[in-house]
Amino acid sequence: MIPEFYKLMLITHRQQQPLADYLQFIETCIASGVTSVQLREKGAAASFLLDYARQLKTLLDQFHIPLIINDNVELALEIDAHGVHLGQSDGSPIVARRRLGANKWIGLSIETGQELIKANAYDVNYVAASAVFPTNNKANICKVWGLAGLSALAKNSVHPVVAIGGINQHNIQEVMTAGAKGVAVIAALHDAANPSEMTAYLRELIS
């Protein structure tokens, strides 16, 4: 396994941006310190998603950066991605592990204490505390963990905990101190005036 691939994970948020332009943004971020990319493209046509995933993997492979597919085991298998990230309603981690095999990575979002108890028994590579802070990039958030909740989750998880939701340069050090082993970000880089500088700064803050 690439050490700490989840240290600084970029979750895609292309919206209506042309794919070629968006891939340039991705390249800027990975060249500056992003350690993995999670492809999250809700509602896209299957043909577009497959093309997008293939182009993204080709780019990431040049930099030896892992590609994680959100909520789509079949797509991960189709393009030989490094793994998948599953929400609580995205299918069983047990089935995903059976389909993907032992060498692929599986992440699982955790929104309650009961979900963490179940996750501790699963063969996954990390769990994601979703969400640590309020965020506009995910609908139907069940729980905002906060720093205290994140700390408790990290202490009780047998898997590394990745923090997601409202993570930025102003709170990332507190998040890591609370027990997160990595962070997944959207707005922190997509909304940055200079994505390259912000990526490097975030890596500096969590190193």
The span from the CA of 183 to the CA of 172, in Å, is 8
Number of alpha helices (DSSP H) and beta strands (DSSP E) in the chain: 9, 8
> Is 137 annotated to bind ligand?
no
Q: Has 40 been labeled as part of a binding site? A: yes
Ligand-binding site membership of 86 (annotated): no
Residue 78 assigned ligand-binding role = no
Centroid of chain to Cα 109: 10
Angle between helical axes of 195-206 and 19-32 (0-180°, round to 10):
40
Rounded to 10°, the helix 19-32/46-62 angle is: 30
* Residue 41 counted as an annotated binding residue: yes
Contact 54, 41 (CB under 8 A): no
| Contact between residue 150 and residue 179 where contact means Cβ atoms under 8 Å apart | yes
Q: Is residue 90 annotated as involved in ligand binding?
A: yes
* 10 marked ligand binding residue: no
Give the up-direction half-sphere exposure of residue 64: CA atoms within 13 A in the CB hemisphere.
Answer: 3
The reply, when asked if residue 166 is annotated as ligand binding, is yes
To which H or E segment does residue 187 belong?
helix 187-190
Q: How far is it, in rounded angstroms, from Cα 119 to Cα 141? A: 19
Residues flagged as binding site for Mg(2+): 71, 90
Residues flagged as binding site: 38-42, 70-71, 90, 109, 138, 166
